Amino acid sequence: MVSYKLLNPEDVQFSSAVLSEEPVRDENPVREPEEASLLPRRRGCSGTTALLVIGCLLLLLCGGWVLGTMFWLHRPSSIQPHRRPSPASGHTPDSRVETGVNDTAAAASRREACSLISEAWRFDCYPERGVVVTRELCEARNCCFIPASSPSSSASRPSGRNGIPWCFYPEDFPSYSLVSINDTSLGQKGTLVREVKTYYPADILTLEITDPANSRFEVPISVPAATKKADSPEYIVEISKQPFGLIVKRRSTGAVLLNTTVAPLLFADQFLQLSSSLQSQFIYGLGEHRSSFLHDVHWNTLTMWARDVPPMEQTNLYGAHPFYLAMEEGGDAHGFFLLNSNAMDVVLQPAPALTWRTIGGILDFYVFLGPDPASVIGQYVEVIGYPAMPIYWALGYHLCRWGYNTSDSTWEMVKSLRNYKIPQDVQWNDIDYMDQFMDFTFDSKKFGTLPDMVKDLHVHDQRYVMILDPGISSSQPEGSYWPYDEGLKRDVFIKDAEGKTLIGKVWPGLTAYPDFSNEVTHEWWYENLLRFHEKVPFDGLWIDMNEPSNFLDGSTNGCPSNSLENPPYTPGILGGLLRAKTLCATAQQKQSIHYNMHSLYGLMEAKASASAMKRIVAKRPFVISRSTFPSQGMYSGHWLGDNRSQWKDLYTSIAGMLTFNLLGIPLVGADICGFSEEPQEELCVRWTQLGAFYPFTRNHNAIDMRPQDPTAFSPLARTAMKQALLLRYSLFPVLYTLFHHAHVHGHTVARPLMFEFPKDVKTYGIDKQFLWGKSLLVTPVLDPEVDYVDGYFPEGLWYDYYTGDSLHSQGEDLRLHAPLDKINLHLREGSITPTQAPNLTLWVSSGQPLHLVTALSEGGAASGDLFWDDGETIDTYENNLYSYIMFSVAQNVMTSQVLHSNVEATYITVETASFYGVKQKPSRVMVNSQDATFTYRDNKVLTVADLGLNLSQNFTISWMF
């Protein structure tokens, strides 16, 4: 659902252009008397499990706690590794700040030292946008000024845009010094002192854990707390005392994972800056942005501040996830998480190095040592929370559009798919269903048959999901709209700076915004949902517009003029203002001001929605949210927003899907066929094939666009789409088991190739292919008018999923035949894949017999597993209400081992088994020591049928030559 005029990327004016029309700020503005530090701190410190991370270095760079598991070595800064090159051999930086440039010789000497700092290691001293930085402005900050010589930078480049900075820190720029350090039960506590103020107002000159003079905001999500130091940590932490900095090394290899000595630490009330070297240029995560999966480190700034805008490059999008995963030489990996919800920029530069700039909160960060990429993500989600196990029908095919107009036309769409025998589990409605676009209502004229349609869906084992926007109409006659009247009574709405209900504008007109940081609001939300559920028994929620979106900037009354609305530094957000198309930064919420809480809004609404759905339906909740923040996966999935019907959007959806799997939100997908613009038939076919392998699969269409459901196209296209969806349904046992591992172990579902082949550098940039789990390789067609696709196959033995034909790869690109009705799938050697005969809903499909597909390794071995339960009961794993079966093959014998049993498995049989890579025809096949009939094809595929084996009982299948 959009809340904007359709924009072309070339129409978008980024903040640098917007702000360039404003006067340059005074370099040292006077702080307004009424402003306080950025709000009370909620807790003393957050932490994590000792073996999981290097701990919550809660402002350790500011002398904070080194939580859990820290071994400290004190070394002089002169021997710190992985630091940016010194400007001159033997040069000793002057610790004083120059007070002017009157001394010509001194100025010349300083400029010579500046010139010796290589371009890749220049850290921006003047990042403000909309300012053409001159030598005078730069040197007023006691920084180096050198117009960059690279062709990527030009003389007209205003500071703040991507490119080599012209104004950068000298080696001797003053930073904090560590003046004292004391042992604690979990680590150490230090005091940092800065003797010279910087160029941002309200410098905090003395730091202890956080600002000792004023409490500060901390992100209110639960994280594990360290309880003891690690006995034998896998890392080494070193401290530079002057200037203060941290170096974190991997003990086994000596790799430097973090080195904050490369640039000065800045800590002012509204400007916190921390830089570090990077181990390599292979950096992933840092959502939500539209980009390739592998980020570009060549002067690339990624801004985080939740925003309603269609996905486009170099723009802050719907969610904020300050986490990255980095690959190291040799295939090791580590991660870094900054637990901060304020607006921020993350700057990548080719040194390689990274700079965090945030305008509030604290520097509360975690380092995850992996050492492999999958372990890094497992450790990260242990901190932010494991993703929820989805209800089974969440993994089926979902259909939606904005513009059904009536419940009858929606119903006819469902019936049409049934008539063509196209699988569908869930039908959705956009805001069409509402009465005047108001939440918790439906149009009694156009959607009068909506309750009957939902009942019909349920009769056919299908489900119904509706959209809800957070904005509550505030302009209805008093007493006529319970959600608003009751909300006022219970005081659940966000207030403006004067304490009055803040009024913005979205689809129903003037609206108030629920404050989901208030538990009272959760109860009010639940009661609204319950009252509506009694009229329309919906099964899940689609929560949209929850950045939160606003058609106005701030409110109907504008916003105050102060440093919260116009901070000394504004990150590169679209629109150039914190309030652009959202609420005032000064708006008041229960837990803090919106300045701190903005990017948490979608998370808190998802938490309220999931809790309410559990109470209403007494099953696993289904919630899909547009705006997200770390820990969102505990409460909702995500779709990638209002994309376009373009081939480029088809391609970029893979990077988005892979990134959100890294971020702990595996239930993710893009709008199949694209949301806006007219879909081409070929594009829609290829997108349905790819979308069949999104963890969350939904076709969604914009108003006034041609229909793009499978029935809207030619018989050939319709059949190809149907085949793709049936293929997905046949693989439900695989997908469901992968979500179990995501829920319990923090694994990814859709997985980048580098996770399974971390020593193969060729996989590091691949985002046109992906894996389901460890073994199922998906190679979709992403270009028009082709009947082939090129894919990379890491070294090893691979099998065509459909035929069992094998190919041996040395780690090479191969061209695959890909007619319009085919998506290429391959099985990795050593895997066992359980499948089922597909049907029109997952309720029916999931009761079908299993077919086991075994892809033997060169040595004849394989393994696989299956998680099975009733598909909808909450916490089946936690309450032991599940079955878990391991399958393995060795020495020509397949063994099934039931490791955990539940009645649900007794309803399923194993009917057939195929073995890819059996090198010669067997003379005999036995099932549980009894002879069985079999077939053997020339491509070395052995198939045993009519097994009738109960899944809940161990069995063996063996063959001999």
Q: What is the DSSP string of 122-141?
A: PPBS---TTB---HHHHHHT
Q: What is the DSSP string of 375-393?
A: HHHHHHHHHH-PPPPPPGG
Start-to-end Cα distance in the chain: 61
Q: Which of 288, 515, 544, 756 is catalytic?
A: 544
Only one residue has tokens 């689809």, namely: 507
Calpha distance 238→251 (Å, rounded)? 12
The count of residues in the chain is 961
Q: Is 547 known to be catalytic?
A: yes
Pairing label, strands 941-944, 909-916: antiparallel
Only one residue has tokens 């963890």, namely: 695
Burial profile 374-384: b = 16 or more Cβ within 10 angstroms, e = fewer: bbbbbbbbbbb
Calpha distance 173→541 (Å, rounded)? 52
**Token pair for 367:** 């380092």
Contact 435, 507 (CB under 8 A): no
Helix (H) or strand (E) holding 395, with range, is: none
Contact 462, 841 (CB under 8 A): yes
* Residues facing residue 644 across a β-bridge: 676
Amino acid code (one letter) for 893: V
Calpha distance 22→27 (Å, rounded)? 14
* Residues facing residue 74 across a β-bridge: 239
Three-state DSSP class for residue 324: strand
Q: Which of 332, 430, 547, 767 is catalytic?
A: 547
Helix (H) or strand (E) holding 178, with range, is: strand 177-183
Calpha distance 342→569 (Å, rounded)? 12
Calpha distance 925→480 (Å, rounded)? 74
Cis peptide before 112 (omega within 30 of 0): no
Calpha distance 52→64 (Å, rounded)? 19
- Tell me the CB-side half-sphere exposure of residue 200, using CA atoms within 13 A: 25
Only one residue has tokens 């007619």, namely: 819
In degrees and rounded to multiples of 5, residue 806 shows phi and psi of -105, 155
Contact 238, 72 (CB under 8 A): yes
Report the alpha-carbon angle 287-293-296, nearest 5: 90
577 alpha-carbon distance from chain centroid: 24
Contact 851, 887 (CB under 8 A): no
Calpha distance 293→755 (Å, rounded)? 13
Calpha distance 126→522 (Å, rounded)? 43
Cis peptide before 560 (omega within 30 of 0): no
Contact 478, 554 (CB under 8 A): no
Calpha distance 566→22 (Å, rounded)? 12
Amino acid code (one letter) for 829: E
Calpha distance 429→452 (Å, rounded)? 14
**Token pair for 307:** 């925003």
Q: Where are the beta strands (DSSP E) in 559-712?
A: 623-625, 637-639, 668-669, 671-672, 697-699
Contact 795, 810 (CB under 8 A): yes
Which residues contact residue 274 at a Cβ distance below 8 angstroms, ignoring those fewer than 6 apart?
A: 61, 260, 265, 355, 356, 363
Residues tagged active-site: 544, 547
